[in-house]
A and B are shown apart, each in its own frame.
Chain A
C-alpha cells in the first residue's frame, strides 16, 4: 500500500530524514518510535504534504501512485489521513459543516454521490457513538476550546468519517488520560480491517498495549535503525534508546 524508498527531506536547509525506507501493506499496523528530534513528526508531515519540507531524494508510492506528486487534498482523497499531534483550532468553522464538506469532497473525488442531510447525520451519529464523542461538540467551532482529549477524539472521529486506506496517528496518545486513551484505541481497533493500514507514531509502549502493532520501527537521526515485532517496544520501554544510539555510533 505504502512504499517509502530512501526518503530524504530537509527543512530550512537542515536534513531531517536521511534515507528512510518503509513498506506498509494492507491490514498492517506499524508503530514508529524513537527519541525526540529523530524525525517522526517530519515523516508524518512529509507524507501528508506539508509545504515547509523539501524532498531532496527518494520516492513514496501510495497504492501505485507517486504520493509526493499529489497536493495535500488529493493525498487525502486518495485515502491518506494524518491525525495531527496538535489539531488546529478554527473558530467560525462549525465542526459538523467541516466534516460534511470534507466527506463530500472526498466522495466527489471517488465519484460517489454526496451524503446529504439524514444519511450524513446517521453516519455521524454512528461514528460518534463508536468514540463516545459528545454530540454537542459537533455543533461547536472546529476544535475551538476543546480539551486536549476532545481534540484527539475529534481527529479519530474525522478518521472514522473519511474511512482512509492509510491513517497516520502522530502522537495521538500525548495529552490523553487513561480513559480517553482506551476510547481512542478502541475506536481505532474497530476501524481497522484487512483493507486499511495504520502508522502509529508514539513515544510510549502504553498505547501499543491497546493498539497492537504488527511491526515496530525505531527512527533515529532520520533513518529506521531497527525493526521488529511488538516485543521491540517492550524492550525499548525497559532499556530506553541509549543502547541503540550506542550501536549506531559503533556502526558509524
Chain B
C-alpha cells in the first residue's frame, strides 16, 4: 500500500476516535472516515496527490490533538490588528475552530445562521449537506478531519436572502505544545441567496501548529457565493486546507486565494463540482512565497453538465529557497457539452534556490467544448527593472512595482477595493 504510518500521532488519532461517543447523526459518516484513516494513515510522497509535497516532516509524533481554546487570552487588540482597513464586515473570531462569542459580532440578518458546527447537527440543512461532497476514502486528511473534528462552523443562508456585508472570519491557531487541529466548516447558500466570506489567519504561539481544515460549500440554484482566503502567518504555521464546493444550476462561485510568505507549509485543495447548467466558477490565486516555504495548490474543476463556464488563473512568485506547486485538473464529463473551461498558471521565480512544479491537466470526455490551459515559468524582466531604476525608482520599490504588475491580472479581479489594497500591501510586505 502506498502509505506510511507515523506511529504515535496515528495511535493518538485512533485512541481519540475510540474514546468518543458513537451515536447520533454523525456516527456513520465518522465511522466510514475512521475506517479509511485506519487503513490509509497519512499520505506519503508515493501518493500521486502528494508527490511534490512531503507531509512527513510536519506530521510528527509530538503533535497533540487539540480542541478549542487552550491557552492564550485573546485580546481585542490582537483582533483589531487582524482587521482589514476600510472593510465594513461582520467579524467572527475562531480559536482553533471554536467560536469566540465575546470577540465576534452578533449577526442579525434575515435567514442567516452561524453556529458552532456540533450545535447544528440536528438541523435539516446540515443533515442534507454535511459530508455529501467530500470523499473521505480518497483524501487522507479529509478522513482524519471527518473522524475527529469537534470545532468549526455551520453557516447557512436561506432562499433568496442577501447578506450585503461580508463575514470576516479570523482564524486563530494557538496552543501550549506542538499541536494538530481539525476545524470543520459547512456553508449552505440556498437558492438565489448571496453571501460573501473573507477568511484571514493569526498564529499566536511559539509552538508548531498543524491545522487540518476541511470546508464544504453548497451553492444552490442561482445563488452567489464569494469566498476570499488570505493566508498569512509565521513559521510555526502549517496549514492543510481542503475545500469541496458543490454548485447547482446558474449559480456563481468565486474563490480568491492569496498565500503570503511566513507560513512554513501550505497545502490547498480546492475542488469544485459544477453539477447543473449555466454555472459560473472563478478561481483566482496568488501565491507569494519566501524563505524555505512550501506552497502547494491543488485544484479540481469537475464539469458535469452542459453550458457551464469555469475560469481559473493562479499566479506564483517564488523568492529565496521557497517551493511552489500548482496542480490544476479540469474534468469535462460526457454530458458537459458547450463547456467553457479556462485555466492559466504563471510563475515568476525570483530566488536562486526557488523552484516551482506546475502541472495543468485537462480530461475531456465531451466533444463540443472550449477548453484551454497554460503554464509559464519565468524570471524578472531585467530590461523593465533597469527602465524603472533610470527613473529614480530604487531596487526594492522597482521590484515591488513589477511583482504587483505581474499579480495585477489576479488582484485586479478583487471587486472590493479595501481587500485589493490590503492584498497589495501584503505583496509589498511579503517582498521585504
Would A93 and B401 be within 8 Å (CB), given that A50-B386, A84-B387, A88-B387 are in contact? yes
Give 7 A-B contacts (CB < 8 Å), ordered by A residue.
Answer: A71-B389, A73-B398, A82-B390, A87-B387, A88-B381, A102-B392, A162-B392
In the complex, A87→B388 CA distance in Å?
11
Pairwise interchain contact A76-B392, C-beta atoms closer than 8 A: yes
**Residue in B383, B393, B395, B406 whose CB lies within 8 Å of A101:** B393
- List the B side residues contacting A81 at CB < 8 Å: 390
Pairwise interchain contact A105-B390, C-beta atoms closer than 8 A: no
Pairwise interchain contact B404-A105, C-beta atoms closer than 8 A: no
- List the B side residues contacting A98 at CB < 8 Å: 388, 391, 401
- List the A side residues contacting B394 at CB < 8 Å: 73, 105
State whether the Cβ of A218 lies closer than 8 Å to any Cβ in chain B.
no
In the complex, A54→B402 CA distance in Å?
26
What is the number of contacts between chain A and chain B, taking CB atoms within 8 Å?
74
Contact surface of A with B, Cβ cutoff 8 Å: 48-51, 71-73, 75-77, 81-82, 84, 87-88, 90-93, 97-98, 101-102, 105-106, 109, 141, 158, 162
State whether the Cβ of B397 lies closer than 8 Å to any Cβ in chain A.
yes
- List the A side residues contacting B390 at CB < 8 Å: 48-49, 72-73, 75-76, 81-82, 84
In the complex, A51→B409 CA distance in Å?
30
B87 to chain A: closest CB distance in Å?
Answer: 22
Pairwise interchain contact B391-A93, C-beta atoms closer than 8 A: no
B414 to chain A: closest CB distance in Å?
Answer: 14
Would A101 and B397 be within 8 Å (CB), given that A90-B384, A92-B409 are in contact? yes
- List the B side residues contacting A88 at CB < 8 Å: 381, 383-384, 387
- List the B side residues contacting A87 at CB < 8 Å: 387
Convert B248-265 into 0s and 1s, putting 1 for each residue whose CB lies closer than 8 angstroms to a CB of A: 000000000000000000
Pairwise interchain contact A162-B391, C-beta atoms closer than 8 A: yes
Pairwise interchain contact B397-A105, C-beta atoms closer than 8 A: yes
- List the B side residues contacting A92 at CB < 8 Å: 404-409
- List the A side residues contacting B391 at CB < 8 Å: 76, 98, 102, 105-106, 158, 162
- List the A side residues contacting B386 at CB < 8 Å: 50-51, 72
The interface centre, meaning the residue of B383, B393, B409 with most chain A CB atoms within 10 A of its CB, is: B393
Pairwise interchain contact A101-B389, C-beta atoms closer than 8 A: no
Would A49 and B387 be within 8 Å (CB), given that A92-B405, A93-B402 are in contact? no
B395 to chain A: closest CB distance in Å?
Answer: 7
- List the B side residues contacting A76 at CB < 8 Å: 389-392
Question: Total interface residues on B, using CB and 8 Å?
Answer: 23
In the complex, A50→B383 CA distance in Å?
9
The interface centre, meaning the residue of A92, A98, A105 with most chain B CB atoms within 10 A of its CB, is: A92
B382 to chain A: closest CB distance in Å?
Answer: 8
Pairwise interchain contact A90-B405, C-beta atoms closer than 8 A: yes
In the complex, A238→B228 CA distance in Å?
68
* Nearest opposing residue in chain A for B394, CB measure: A73
Pairwise interchain contact A90-B393, C-beta atoms closer than 8 A: no
Pairwise interchain contact B393-A105, C-beta atoms closer than 8 A: yes
Pairwise interchain contact A77-B405, C-beta atoms closer than 8 A: no
Known interface pairs A76-B391, A101-B401; 16 further A-B residue pairs with C-beta atoms within 8 A, sorted by A's residue number: A51-B386, A75-B390, A76-B389, A84-B390, A90-B387, A90-B405, A92-B406, A92-B408, A93-B405, A98-B391, A101-B393, A105-B391, A105-B397, A106-B392, A141-B405, A158-B391
In the complex, A83→B391 CA distance in Å?
10
Pairwise interchain contact B395-A73, C-beta atoms closer than 8 A: yes
In the complex, A202→B326 CA distance in Å?
49
- List the A side residues contacting B384 at CB < 8 Å: 88, 90
Would A72 and B389 be within 8 Å (CB), given that A88-B384, A105-B397 are in contact? yes
In the complex, A90→B404 CA distance in Å?
11
- List the B side residues contacting A50 at CB < 8 Å: 386
- List the A side residues contacting B401 at CB < 8 Å: 90, 93, 97-98, 101
In the complex, A50→B392 CA distance in Å?
14
In the complex, A102→B389 CA distance in Å?
9
Q: Which of B321-343 contact A (CB under 8 A)?
A: none
B423 to chain A: closest CB distance in Å?
Answer: 14
Pairwise interchain contact A105-B408, C-beta atoms closer than 8 A: no
* Nearest opposing residue in chain B for A144, CB measure: B405
Pairwise interchain contact A73-B387, C-beta atoms closer than 8 A: no
In the complex, A101→B404 CA distance in Å?
14
In the complex, A231→B367 CA distance in Å?
73
* Nearest opposing residue in chain A for B405, CB measure: A92
A216 to chain B: closest CB distance in Å?
Answer: 25
In the complex, A95→B404 CA distance in Å?
14
- List the B side residues contacting A102 at CB < 8 Å: 388, 391-393
- List the B side residues contacting A48 at CB < 8 Å: 390
* Nearest opposing residue in chain B for A105, CB measure: B392
A219 to chain B: closest CB distance in Å?
Answer: 21
In the complex, A141→B402 CA distance in Å?
12
- List the B side residues contacting A141 at CB < 8 Å: 405
- List the B side residues contacting A51 at CB < 8 Å: 386
The interface centre, meaning the residue of B387, B392, B398, B408 with most chain A CB atoms within 10 A of its CB, is: B392
A-B pairs with the 3 shortest C-beta distances?
Answer: A92-B405, A92-B408, A76-B392
A170 to chain B: closest CB distance in Å?
Answer: 11
A118 to chain B: closest CB distance in Å?
Answer: 20
- List the A side residues contacting B397 at CB < 8 Å: 101, 105
In the complex, A42→B242 CA distance in Å?
55
* Nearest opposing residue in chain A for B404, CB measure: A92
A41 to chain B: closest CB distance in Å?
Answer: 14
Q: Which of B46-70 contact A (CB under 8 A)?
A: none
